[in-house]
Structure 1
Amino acid sequence: MLYVDIKKNLPDFTLDVRFSVDNNIVVLFGPSGCGKTTTLRCIAGLTKPDEGMITNKGTTFFSSKAKTFVPPSYRRVGYMFQEFALFPHMNVRRNIWYGVKQRGRKAEELYEKLVDLLKIGHLADRFIDRLSGGEKQRVALARALMAEPDILLLDEPLSALDNATRLDLQTELKRMQQLWNIPFILVTHDPGEAKVLGDQVFCMEKGRQVPVSMTPQCVLQNAVLQVERNICV
């Protein structure tokens, strides 16, 4: 289980969040600039909190009291950036393999499994500029999972896609999470996406988890979010 209890002083507010994640999908929902991405970066080790603790499966990633800070490369955290961060000078195959530390039979089998599950095997020799938005999303997801992470962070991974592709990939993300059985933490400001994907949804406003009634955006989408979902705040 991933446990997050941190504070981080930012220019406009103090990020102050506390939650735990089992092997399911947690959505951080709220307007742009409310601290969602900073929360992901703290979990990944790309940003250091000022106070608190982050642990996963008994391993401490960060503790202000114990003065512990585990570098990103030792956290086994996969990160799908909003822009996918794929390398344009590499083809699909090389992008997926990028970052794999040890290439062997197990890694080869995982690669074949991923490209088969995500239906991108035929794209292996294509360069990134020849892919559609949905294809790029699948390649980015394959690359993140190729590293066999214990946690997967997704920063608005579907925001740039058309509606039809977005609906298709929402289903894909749910399926991949169930297959990998690890925590997925997804950032979005889209209430429909939060409702569809989130096993738990945390509403954020200016760095804090807030009751739905306290944030204008959440008030407007309260009915949407509560349909068939338990909202944890």
Structure 2
Amino acid sequence: MWGHQWFHEFQMMAAAGYAVVFTNYRGSTGYGYAHQHAVHADYGGVDFRDNMAVLDHVLQQHDWLDSSRLYITGGSHGGFLTNWITTQTDRFKAAVTQRSVSNWLSEAGTQQYPPNSMRREFAGTIWQNFELYWNRSPLKYANQVSTPTLIIHSTEDHITPIGQGEEWFYALKANDVPVEMVVFKGEGHSLSRNGTPINLVERLKRILAWFERYAD
């Protein structure tokens, strides 16, 4: 769904020398209701497998890509996936997680949507389906992460409140993972799309700088 218009962020990364791989994984839009909602009660399942399958396919198709120099970033659902993927594999040299979810239990009690929305996503409340909420929380597996991680979050994000980033920062710090957190004061969940111009630019600079720090 990114392909219908010029997207400056991918172009910026390509201009810096990166090959950019992205896909309409299950849980995203573009292929109908069933495709978008296949992730319900399966966060970290079909969405994770689709992204890793696409990466493997692209690496197999293009021998000029360097599989030893992989980087990962994403925001919102993509931020959750960035966290989750780094709990499942050490293939990536560095990660930038943006407006992410690290703990579905605390997300359920602090995000702006009514309880009904989380009930739909996880086939019940945290009291009815506690194990699913916790088992699909990256926080549970933070001791398995080794990927250097930059966390980007905003103070006025009410969809994935800043506590999600703070919990992830604490968890990685406690497990001796190289981690930094950048907080954008006054910005919300849509920083990457309609933040103030100076913050839009700063966010992009921070992402590239983090990858470049771990380029060798």
TM-score, normalised to structure 2, is 0.29
Tell which has more relative contact order, 1 or 2 (C-alpha 8 A, sep 6+): 1
**Rg larger for:** 1
More helix by percentage:
2
Task: Calculate the TM-score normalised by the size of structure 1.
Answer: 0.27
